[in-house]
Amino acid sequence: MGTGDAQDHARFGDVVAVCDVDSHHCLRAKHHDGIGRGRADAYEDYRRVLDRDDVDVVSIVTPDHWHVKIAVEALLAGKHVFCQKPLTLTLEENRLIRAAFQAHPDLVFFIGTQQRSDRDRFLRAINMVQQGLLGRVTKITAGVDGSPTGGPFTPEIPPEQLDWYMWLGQAPLVDYMSRRCHYEFRWWYEYSGGKFTDWGAHHVDIALWAMGLDKQGTGPVEVDGTDAKHPVAMVDGYPTVDDCYNTSHDFNVISRFEDGLELHLTSRGRNGILFEGEKGRLFVNRGRISGEPIEQNWDDGKFGDEELQKLYRGKPFEGHKENFYRCIREGGTPVSDVYSHVQTMNVCHLSSIAARLGRKIAWDPVSEQVTGDHQAAAMMARKPRPGFEIPVV
């Protein structure tokens, strides 16, 4: 994602600095014809990028456990931020990043949830739901597939080009394993949330947006994680071994809302989102959209520029990066913003906690607190390694 995002950003300005704790990745980006073009400065410490007065935009495409620390420090340095999903690792990080952004309203903060810019499928589905074509929606199923299983893996000597200590950041200090690093970080709760956050950040986001539940103060009142399995034994929500993938590979976690709506986040069935209402069903994913409104030849003339502009917060419909840079030039709220994404991540993280504990947990969406379960409440945050704390704004 870093390579793809960087090439997109290069369409709108000069890439003057690239950074990676893996020097091979860093130098490849520096000399890439579509990124650094041999002229960008290369760093292994992101703080050197933030120190530069000539950097206006910071694009963060690190493993998930680094997102919020870099993003908060980028805001404090006066930079506009584009950050890949999922934005946060914990429920506490949701609050930290929202507070940091609230203190810097003159900056644009954009999340890389590209389904928010898919006109012909996801935006069309959202409009149909919001137009009431399904009637009252009672159930949404977000199919996100299951995490892979694997291990035990053998500790290795870190590659010479990789700063493993810095890669770990706030996460616990452990021996290097190639299966913990780079793409594979997704399947370890130490750095990510498995499919709860990897795909949940996309599909839960669309579900909540369609239902108008992407605003602060909204959210489930109960999250049921009783139907979830993990590839390793878990005790009190934590894996008992450190040499195997540990995120859930088989689950159906149910978030229940006060009005009776159920949102099923599941590894079973098709990847995509199924809306079920009193008047019919609607399924959408990255390849198709189907259901009663489609089969009945619903008049797509009702979904034109005016409807798109409403979904795009008053901006014209265009690509994901185009919207980001338009908001930098003109002001306004981007189509993929911090506040709505935090609501999505609340559901994703609660689903992960409930699944790890294997039980139901209660949630107060207004105070944003787990209630009646001290163990679950303790999992809302994680103590970082000394030296890697996230600034509190």
The CATH number of residue 69's host domain is 3.40.50.720
31 found inside a domain: yes
Please list the pLDDT of the chain residue by residue as tens digits (393 residues): 999 999 999 999 999 999 999 999 999 999 999 999 999 999 999 999 999 999 999 999 999 999 999 999 999 999 999 999 999 999 999 999 999 999 999 999 999 999 999 999 999 999 999 999 999 999 999 999 999 999 999 999 999 999 999 999 999 999 999 999 999 999 999 999 999 999 999 999 999 999 999 999 999 999 999 999 999 999 999 999 999 999 999 999 999 999 999 999 999 999 999 999 999 999 999 999 999 888 876 655 567 888 899 999 999 999 999 999 999 999 999 999 999 999 999 999 999 999 999 999 999 999 999 999 999 999 999 999 999 999 999
Residue 269 to residue 228: CA distance in whole angstroms = 15
Q: Are residues 293 and 165 in the same domain?
A: yes
Domain count, the chain: 2
Structure tokens at 386: 């000394």
CATH number of the CATH domain containing 288: 3.30.360.10
Three-state secondary structure call for residue 26 = helix
128 and 192 inside one domain: yes
Residues 91 and 125 both lie in one domain: no
Q: Identify each DSSP E strand in 240-377 by its residue range.
A: 250-256, 262-266, 272-277, 280-284, 289-291, 360-364, 369-371
Do residue 206 and residue 275 come from a single domain?
yes
pLDDT at residue 216 in the model = 97
The token pair at 228 is 């979830």
Let me know: does 2 contact 61? Beta carbons within 8 Å.
Answer: yes
Question: Helix axis angle, 67-76 relative to 91-102, nearest 10°?
Answer: 10
Lookup: tokens for 245: 């993938």
Mark whether 108 and 159 lie in a shared domain.
no
In this structure, the answer to whether residues 103 and 134 fall within a common structural domain is no
Can you say whether the dihedral through the CA atoms of 268, 269, 273, 275 is positive or negative? negative
The last residue of one of the domains, among 92, 114, 136, is 114
Same domain, 216 and 122: yes
Of 68, 99, 114, the last residue of a domain is 114
Which residue is associated with the tokens 């993990």? 230
CB under 8 A, 24+ apart: contacts of 180-187 = 180/153, 182/22, 184/245, 185/63, 185/64, 185/65, 186/64, 186/147, 186/247, 187/147, 187/148, 187/150, 187/245, 187/246, 187/247
- Shared domain for 238 and 347, answered yes or no, is yes
Does a structural domain hold residue 321?
A: no
- Residue 373 domain-assigned? yes
Helical residues (DSSP H) of 225-304, grouped into ranges: 292-295
Predicted pLDDT at 297: 66
For residue 262, being part of any structural domain is answered with yes
How many helices (H) and strands (E) would you count in the chain?
Answer: 14, 17
Q: Looking at the structure, do residues 210 and 291 belong to the same domain, yes or no?
A: yes
Instruction: Please indicate, yes or no, if residue 204 is contained in any of the structural domains.
Output: yes
The verdict on residue 390 lying in a domain is no
Is the separation of the CB atoms in 243 and 382 below 8 Å? no
* Separation between Cα atoms, residue 241 and residue 152, nearest integer Å: 9
According to DSSP, the residues that pair with 22 across neighbouring strands are: 162
Query: Does residue 95 sit in the same domain as residue 123?
Result: no
Domain boundary among 114, 143, 165: 114
Which pLDDT score is estimated for 307? 87
Q: Residue 171 domain-assigned?
A: yes
Judge whether 295 lies within some domain: yes
Same domain, 157 and 299: yes
- What is residue 166's three-state secondary structure? helix
* 276 lies in the same domain as 172: yes
Provide the domain limits for residue 244. Answer: 116-313+337-378
CA distances for 150 relative to 153, 154, 255, angstroms: 8, 12, 28
- DSSP assignment of 211-225 equals HT--STT---SEEE-
